[in-house]
Amino acid sequence: METLETQETVTPDQEQQPSKSKIKLLYILIFLLILIIGGLLTFIYFVFAPLRHNEGGADAIEKYNNNAIVQEKEQELLNDPDSTDEVEAPQEQNSELKTYVNEKLGFSIDIPTTAVNPYGACKWVEDETKSSYRPKEAFTPVTTFEDNDSVYIAFEYSYELAGREEADGYSYFSKCEKKDNSLALLKSDNRTWHIVTQTVKNDAELTTFIKEQFGSSCNLGEKKLSAQAGVFDVAVKGDGLDMEFSNCVLNYMFVLKYSPEKQKVYTFDRGQSTAFFQLLDFSKSYDDVMEESFKIL
């Protein structure tokens, strides 16, 4: 008996059907991937957009946090006035000017009640090898010290370092001592703001006074009328020699005023730098105001 074999015939449409299904699936996967990426980008945009639009970005956030910490610290100090945390010293002290009048010597001048003294205090400085006291600026009372024919304007006191030791070429101090000022101390040193006066009747006597105060080779210079009626600002004429050969060294600021009517001459030197500072950073002083306030009575 013969066996009949049946052969199935595959049409072209049946061969293409699996390929179309794969392509359709691929399109679906690509579409889903686009949706995921789009959603992720949208999420990133809305999360980081506020930081981008906020000027300074991360710096602004850090500044905000720092300000919050500072405000919290200030509030703690207000709530706890006995806090031992170190607080920065005020940069300026409200020091009123007071008018000093000397009827005997015939002049007046405004002086501050307090000013910054570079040696107004001490501080203990820790060092890796050896610690030491060091000078510290502080507001100190300003006063006058009267002599026979002169007046000193100076700080009431200063602090001096003591207990000096030498180590590796450096000086170290184990003590810091308060030293009250006095007329004897001021007279032992060539001090600034030492107001000296003398009676003079003419230019010859004025020239003699100049030589005594400024040097033997100094002479009377030009006299200019000052802001005060009847009072002249007097210049001193040098000898023109170099400092090492001169007997009239004028390398500092000084004031010289003469009143022919009163027959009085006044002088004081301001030195080479400022003496009475108003601010702890030494950016503002009283010296100019003091000089401008000087009046012959």
Backbone angles phi, psi at 280, to 5 degrees: -70, -20
pLDDT attached to residue 12: 47
Instruction: Provide the b/e sequence for 232-241 (b: ≥16 CB within 10 Å).
Output: bebebbbeee
Query: What pLDDT sits at residue 48?
Result: 57
Other Cβ atoms within 10 Å of 177 Cβ, number: 13
Q: How far apart are CA 259 and CA 69, in angstroms?
A: 63
DSSP 188: T
Q: Which residues pair with 225 in a beta bridge?
A: 232
Q: What is the pTM of this model?
A: 0.65
Span between the terminal Cα atoms of the chain, in Å: 159
**9 φ, ψ to 5°?**
-105, 125
Query: Residue 194 has which token pair?
Result: 């030492």
What is the pLDDT at residue 242?
87
pLDDT at 143: 95
HSE-up (13 A, CA, CB side) for residue 39: 6
> Among positive and negative, which fits the CA dihedral 178, 180, 181, 184?
negative
Q: Give residue-wise pLDDT tens across range 143-164.
A: 999 998 999 999 999 999 998 8
Q: How far apart are CA 100 and CA 200, in angstroms?
A: 24
Burial class (CB in 10 A: 0-12, 13-18, 19+), 279: middle
> What does the pLDDT read at residue 94?
54
> In 3D, which of 197, 168, 216, 190 has the Cα closest to residue 257?
197
Instruction: Identify the residue whose tokens are 């009283």.
Output: 286
Tens of pLDDT along the chain (297 residues)?
444 444 444 444 444 455 666 777 777 888 788 888 877 787 676 655 544 444 444 444 344 444 443 344 434 433 333 333 333 444 555 568 999 999 999 999 999 999 999 999 999 988 777 888 898 999 999 999 999 899 999 999 999 999 888 887 788 888 899 999 999 999 888 778 999 999 999 999 999 999 999 999 999 999 999 999 999 999 999 988 888 889 999 888 999 999 999 999 999 999 888 999 999 888 899 999 999 999 999
